[in-house]
Amino acid sequence: GAVVSQHPSWVICKSGTSVKIECRSLDFQATTMFWYRQFPKQSLMLMATSNEGSKATYEQGVEKDKFLINHASLTLSTLTVTSAHPEDSSFYICSARPPGAGELFFGEGSRLTVL
Amino acid sequence: AQSVTQPDIHITVSEGASLELRCNYSYGATPYLFWYVQSPGQGLQLLLKYFSGDTLVQGIKGFEAEFKRSQSSFNLRKPSVHWSDAAEYFCAVGGGATNKLIFGTGTLLAVQP
Protein backbone atom coordinates (compact mmCIF):
# COMPACT_ATOMS: atom_id res chain seq x y z
CA GLY A 1 0.00 0.00 0.00
CA ALA A 2 0.87 3.66 -0.15
CA VAL A 3 3.25 5.09 2.42
CA VAL A 4 2.73 8.18 4.49
CA SER A 5 5.50 9.15 6.85
CA GLN A 6 5.64 11.63 9.70
CA HIS A 7 8.55 13.26 11.42
CA PRO A 8 9.35 13.49 14.24
CA SER A 9 7.78 10.46 15.87
CA TRP A 10 7.91 12.17 19.21
CA VAL A 11 8.93 15.58 20.45
CA ILE A 12 9.20 17.23 23.84
CA CYS A 13 9.23 20.99 24.05
CA LYS A 14 8.97 23.78 26.57
CA SER A 15 5.79 25.75 26.99
CA GLY A 16 5.72 28.77 24.71
CA THR A 17 7.87 27.32 21.97
CA SER A 18 6.71 26.24 18.52
CA VAL A 19 6.94 22.76 17.09
CA LYS A 20 6.79 21.66 13.46
CA ILE A 21 5.57 18.22 12.38
CA GLU A 22 6.10 17.02 8.84
CA CYS A 23 3.90 14.67 6.86
CA ARG A 24 5.17 13.21 3.62
CA SER A 25 3.61 10.98 1.02
CA LEU A 26 6.54 8.85 -0.03
CA ASP A 27 5.29 7.12 -3.16
CA PHE A 28 2.44 9.25 -4.40
CA GLN A 29 1.40 12.83 -4.83
CA ALA A 30 -1.26 14.19 -2.55
CA THR A 31 -3.08 17.41 -3.27
CA THR A 32 -4.93 16.97 -0.01
CA MET A 33 -3.74 15.75 3.34
CA PHE A 34 -5.63 15.51 6.61
CA TRP A 35 -4.42 16.24 10.11
CA TYR A 36 -5.98 14.43 13.03
CA ARG A 37 -5.47 14.75 16.74
CA GLN A 38 -5.87 11.92 19.20
CA PHE A 39 -6.10 12.37 22.95
CA PRO A 40 -5.12 9.47 25.21
CA LYS A 41 -7.61 6.65 25.04
CA GLN A 42 -9.82 8.64 22.69
CA SER A 43 -10.67 8.62 19.04
CA LEU A 44 -9.19 10.67 16.26
CA MET A 45 -10.58 14.11 15.67
CA LEU A 46 -10.10 15.81 12.33
CA MET A 47 -8.34 19.12 12.82
CA ALA A 48 -7.91 20.40 9.31
CA THR A 49 -7.63 19.58 5.65
CA SER A 50 -4.37 20.63 4.08
CA ASN A 51 -4.64 21.76 0.46
CA GLU A 52 -1.60 21.97 -1.79
CA GLY A 53 -1.02 25.52 -2.93
CA SER A 54 -3.86 27.03 -0.97
CA LYS A 55 -5.08 27.66 2.54
CA ALA A 56 -5.97 24.83 4.84
CA THR A 57 -9.55 24.21 5.82
CA TYR A 58 -9.99 24.01 9.56
CA GLU A 59 -12.67 22.15 11.46
CA GLN A 60 -14.91 24.04 13.81
CA GLY A 61 -13.24 24.81 17.08
CA VAL A 62 -9.67 24.43 15.82
CA GLU A 63 -7.59 27.57 16.21
CA LYS A 64 -6.03 28.52 12.90
CA ASP A 65 -3.38 30.68 14.51
CA LYS A 66 -2.44 27.95 16.95
CA PHE A 67 -2.14 25.16 14.41
CA LEU A 68 -0.49 26.47 11.26
CA ILE A 69 -0.68 24.20 8.25
CA ASN A 70 1.40 24.56 5.12
CA HIS A 71 1.09 22.28 2.10
CA ALA A 72 3.85 23.64 -0.08
CA SER A 73 4.36 20.64 -2.34
CA LEU A 74 2.48 17.60 -3.53
CA THR A 75 4.32 15.36 -1.11
CA LEU A 76 4.71 17.47 2.01
CA SER A 77 2.39 19.05 4.52
CA THR A 78 3.54 20.58 7.78
CA LEU A 79 1.70 21.28 11.01
CA THR A 80 3.21 23.88 13.29
CA VAL A 81 1.94 24.12 16.82
CA THR A 82 2.67 27.69 17.80
CA SER A 83 3.30 28.85 21.35
CA ALA A 84 2.66 25.35 22.58
CA HIS A 85 1.12 24.77 25.99
CA PRO A 86 0.69 21.57 28.00
CA GLU A 87 -2.90 21.21 26.79
CA ASP A 88 -1.54 20.88 23.24
CA SER A 89 0.17 17.66 24.24
CA SER A 90 -1.35 14.97 22.10
CA PHE A 91 -0.80 12.43 19.34
CA TYR A 92 -1.01 14.06 15.93
CA ILE A 93 -1.61 11.87 12.88
CA CYS A 94 -1.68 12.85 9.24
CA SER A 95 -3.26 11.01 6.36
CA ALA A 96 -3.51 11.21 2.60
CA ARG A 97 -5.32 9.47 -0.20
CA PRO A 98 -3.40 8.34 -3.30
CA PRO A 99 -4.99 9.21 -6.64
CA GLY A 100 -7.53 6.57 -7.56
CA ALA A 101 -7.57 5.00 -4.13
CA GLY A 102 -10.65 5.05 -1.98
CA GLU A 103 -9.04 4.89 1.40
CA LEU A 104 -6.81 7.11 3.45
CA PHE A 105 -3.35 6.03 4.44
CA PHE A 106 -2.04 7.23 7.76
CA GLY A 107 1.33 8.25 9.01
CA GLU A 108 2.91 6.73 12.09
CA GLY A 109 1.84 9.65 14.22
CA SER A 110 3.79 12.23 16.18
CA ARG A 111 3.53 12.42 19.92
CA LEU A 112 3.93 15.93 21.27
CA THR A 113 4.62 16.55 24.93
CA VAL A 114 4.70 20.14 26.11
CA LEU A 115 6.33 20.68 29.48
CA ALA B 1 -25.56 14.47 12.10
CA GLN B 2 -22.79 12.22 10.92
CA SER B 3 -21.43 9.92 13.58
CA VAL B 4 -19.95 6.55 14.32
CA THR B 5 -20.71 4.58 17.45
CA GLN B 6 -18.63 1.75 18.80
CA PRO B 7 -20.59 0.56 21.82
CA ASP B 8 -17.83 -1.57 23.30
CA ILE B 9 -14.96 0.40 24.78
CA HIS B 10 -13.02 -2.64 25.89
CA ILE B 11 -13.34 -6.32 24.95
CA THR B 12 -11.37 -9.29 26.22
CA VAL B 13 -11.38 -12.60 24.38
CA SER B 14 -9.42 -15.79 24.72
CA GLU B 15 -6.93 -16.71 22.06
CA GLY B 16 -8.62 -18.89 19.49
CA ALA B 17 -12.08 -17.58 20.27
CA SER B 18 -14.20 -15.74 17.76
CA LEU B 19 -14.52 -11.97 17.78
CA GLU B 20 -17.12 -9.45 16.78
CA LEU B 21 -16.64 -5.72 17.19
CA ARG B 22 -19.70 -3.59 16.72
CA CYS B 23 -20.00 -0.42 14.71
CA ASN B 24 -23.06 1.67 13.97
CA TYR B 25 -23.07 4.79 11.88
CA SER B 26 -25.21 7.73 10.99
CA TYR B 27 -24.50 9.25 7.60
CA GLY B 28 -26.64 11.28 5.26
CA ALA B 29 -25.40 9.81 2.01
CA THR B 30 -24.11 6.45 0.84
CA PRO B 31 -21.35 5.70 3.28
CA TYR B 32 -17.86 4.51 2.68
CA LEU B 33 -16.99 2.37 5.69
CA PHE B 34 -13.63 1.42 7.09
CA TRP B 35 -12.03 -0.50 9.89
CA TYR B 36 -8.59 0.52 11.05
CA VAL B 37 -6.34 -1.02 13.67
CA GLN B 38 -3.88 0.89 15.85
CA SER B 39 -1.12 -0.59 17.98
CA PRO B 40 0.09 1.47 20.94
CA GLY B 41 1.93 4.59 19.85
CA GLN B 42 1.50 3.75 16.19
CA GLY B 43 -0.45 5.09 13.27
CA LEU B 44 -3.49 3.41 11.79
CA GLN B 45 -3.49 0.45 9.47
CA LEU B 46 -6.43 -0.26 7.22
CA LEU B 47 -8.02 -3.65 7.83
CA LEU B 48 -10.79 -3.46 5.28
CA LYS B 49 -13.19 -1.13 3.53
CA TYR B 50 -16.65 -1.12 2.01
CA PHE B 51 -17.64 1.12 -0.86
CA SER B 52 -20.29 -0.83 -2.72
CA GLY B 53 -21.17 -4.29 -3.98
CA ASP B 54 -20.93 -7.40 -1.88
CA THR B 55 -21.87 -6.48 1.65
CA LEU B 56 -19.46 -8.99 3.18
CA VAL B 57 -15.94 -7.74 2.75
CA GLN B 58 -12.72 -9.52 3.47
CA GLY B 59 -9.71 -7.78 4.89
CA ILE B 60 -6.20 -8.46 5.99
CA LYS B 61 -5.18 -10.66 8.89
CA GLY B 62 -8.29 -12.84 8.55
CA PHE B 63 -10.78 -10.10 9.38
CA GLU B 64 -14.10 -9.59 7.66
CA ALA B 65 -16.96 -7.16 8.07
CA GLU B 66 -20.56 -7.09 6.96
CA PHE B 67 -22.41 -3.98 5.88
CA LYS B 68 -26.04 -4.02 6.91
CA ARG B 69 -27.80 -0.96 5.58
CA SER B 70 -31.06 -1.70 7.41
CA GLN B 71 -29.21 -1.69 10.72
CA SER B 72 -26.70 1.03 9.82
CA SER B 73 -24.02 -1.34 11.00
CA PHE B 74 -20.61 -2.50 9.86
CA ASN B 75 -19.46 -5.07 12.39
CA LEU B 76 -15.99 -6.52 12.27
CA ARG B 77 -15.47 -10.24 12.77
CA LYS B 78 -12.70 -12.76 13.03
CA PRO B 79 -13.30 -16.50 13.54
CA SER B 80 -10.20 -17.18 15.62
CA VAL B 81 -8.31 -14.45 17.44
CA HIS B 82 -4.54 -14.49 17.79
CA TRP B 83 -2.57 -12.82 20.59
CA SER B 84 -1.11 -10.43 18.03
CA ASP B 85 -4.59 -9.06 17.36
CA ALA B 86 -4.53 -7.19 20.67
CA ALA B 87 -4.81 -3.53 19.67
CA GLU B 88 -7.33 -0.75 19.34
CA TYR B 89 -9.83 -0.94 16.52
CA PHE B 90 -11.52 2.04 14.95
CA CYS B 91 -14.54 2.09 12.72
CA ALA B 92 -14.81 5.08 10.40
CA VAL B 93 -17.24 6.48 7.86
CA GLY B 94 -16.62 8.86 5.04
CA GLY B 95 -17.70 9.79 1.59
CA GLY B 96 -17.85 12.51 -0.93
CA ALA B 97 -15.10 14.40 -2.60
CA THR B 98 -13.28 15.44 0.52
CA ASN B 99 -12.86 11.97 1.93
CA LYS B 100 -12.79 13.23 5.47
CA LEU B 101 -13.28 10.38 7.88
CA ILE B 102 -15.38 10.36 11.01
CA PHE B 103 -14.07 7.92 13.55
CA GLY B 104 -15.74 5.99 16.31
CA THR B 105 -14.29 6.10 19.79
CA GLY B 106 -12.51 2.82 19.31
CA THR B 107 -12.63 -0.62 20.90
CA LEU B 108 -9.62 -1.83 22.81
CA LEU B 109 -9.14 -5.56 22.32
CA ALA B 110 -7.27 -7.65 24.85
CA VAL B 111 -6.46 -11.28 24.12
CA GLN B 112 -6.07 -13.77 26.94
CA PRO B 113 -3.77 -16.75 26.52
Distance (Å, whole) CA A59 – CA A56: 10
pLDDT for A102 equals 76
Of B41, B44, B100, Cβ closest to residue A46: B100
- Which residues between 80 and 99 in chain B have a beta carbon less than 8 angstroms from any beta carbon of chain A? 90, 94, 98-99
Residue B45 forms contact with A (CB below 8 Å):
yes
Of A32, A42, A107, Cβ closest to residue B43: A107
Interface mutation vs chain A, best among B42, B57, B102, most A CBs within 10 Å: B42
* Cβ contact B9:B88 at 8 Å: no
Of B34, B43, B100, Cβ closest to residue A93: B43
From chain B, the residues in CB contact with A102 under 8 A are 32, 49, 51
Distance (Å, whole) CA A95 – CA A109: 9
Q: Is the pLDDT of residue A15 over 90?
A: yes
pLDDT for B27 equals 87
pLDDT for A64 equals 94
Which tens digit of pLDDT belongs to each residue from A88-101?
Answer: 999 999 999 888 88
Q: How far is A27 from chain B (nearest CA, A)?
A: 17
> β-strand A10-13 against A110-114: which pairing, if any?
parallel
Distance (Å, whole) CA B100 – CA A19: 25
pLDDT for B98 equals 55
pLDDT for B97 equals 53
Determine whether A47 is exposed, middle or buried from the number of CB atoms within 10 Å of its CB (0-12, 13-18, 19+).
Answer: buried
Contact A104 B41 (CB under 8 A): no
